[in-house]
Chains A and B, each alone.
Chain A
Amino acid sequence: MTVRIGVVVFPGSNRDIDAVNALEVAGAQPVMLWHESASLDGVAGVILPGGFAYGDYLRAGVIARFSPVMRSVASFAAGGGLVLGICNGFQVLTEAHLLPGALLRNRGLRFVSREVSIVPERLDTPFTRAIGERRPLRMPVAHGEGCFYADDATLDELQRDGQVLFSYARADGSTADETGDAANPNGSLRAIAGVMNAAGNVAGLMPHPETAVEAILGSADGLGIIRSFVDSAAERAGTGMPVEVGAR
């Protein structure tokens, strides 16, 4: 049976259709979840897509946090459900305290819309297991507030516990510098592009794997991430047993 994966639609979401397409390419059945509905419709995983939920008013992601669907997503996550936030979805997850850190205004002040490289720091998580090997993955970024920030103690902890999922990287796969390095598009601390929670079932990243799933889109490097998510959700749905891949 095809696994059903939810895609939350906030007013202002604009990458929801890309997420739907990516899920279809990865062999899942996408289910649109309206922000005003508290029902997750029995899905096996939830994607929070990119966009500008509620106009990014006040702070990116904060108003979305209080929507009925997010209360359900929070309970779903607390019960071990798989949740992936992409770009604005990542911002929503940090604002909802489902992920550590915050996304600040890009260090260069500019909205950045271009292709970047990221490397997976772990290959054994529900979000990265189908990637195969540590290599640079090409995919677009498109955001004005993507500078990952956390205090030093938290950053140390994230790195020590294996919660850093993706780092911005140069073409040769080496990790980008924090400043003055075009490979780090927003000045993210320690070049962190994506993180997961300590339990290993909620993840977010600023780049867009869902718009890099077919050669015709310019890159298919994002498919490994989407496929990892779909496969992991399918396994969980099939066995009724969460696959625990937590912090190291």
Chain B
Amino acid sequence: MSTDFRFAVNVTPKAGILDPQGRAVESSLGHLGIEGVSAVRVGRRVELTVAADDAAAARATVERLASELLSNPLIESYVVEEIGAASSIVGAHA
């Protein structure tokens, strides 16, 4: 019987890769009167539910998805994070 597992994939520009969005955010901080914030990097977070026999199998699916589709390994890195069983998340199947 398969179980639903809920994951988040956080994708960010690799270190050293030009991130114009991050730079734009950073340059706006002065207008807020905020100091001491640096190295802003803008990425994306994708949350998804995977039906699998166990957590390891679910994670393997997410890893594949993350490396082949959700990120471009040339310019982005990603971190997969399990965020609990989908059944406990309201609206996960909405």
Contacts and interface: CB of A to CB of B under 8 A. Distances in A.
A102 B75 CA distance: 7
A135 interface: no
16 contacts: A58-B69, A95-B72, A101-B74, A102-B72, A102-B74, A102-B75, A104-B18, A105-B21, A108-B20, A109-B20, A109-B21, A109-B24, A147-B18, A149-B18, A149-B74, A187-B18
Contacts, number: 31
| Interface size grouping (class) on chain B | 10 to 19
Contacts of A62: 69, 72
Q: Is the interface of A mostly helix, strand, loop or mixed?
A: loop
| Interface size grouping (class) on chain A | 10 to 19
B72 A59 contact: yes
A101 B17 CA distance: 12
Contacts of B18: 104, 107, 147, 149, 187
B47 to A, nearest CB: 14
Interface in A85-124: 95, 101-102, 104-109
Contacts of B72: 59, 62, 95, 102
Contacts of B74: 101-102, 149-150
B17 A149 contact: yes
B70 interface: yes
A104 B17 contact: yes
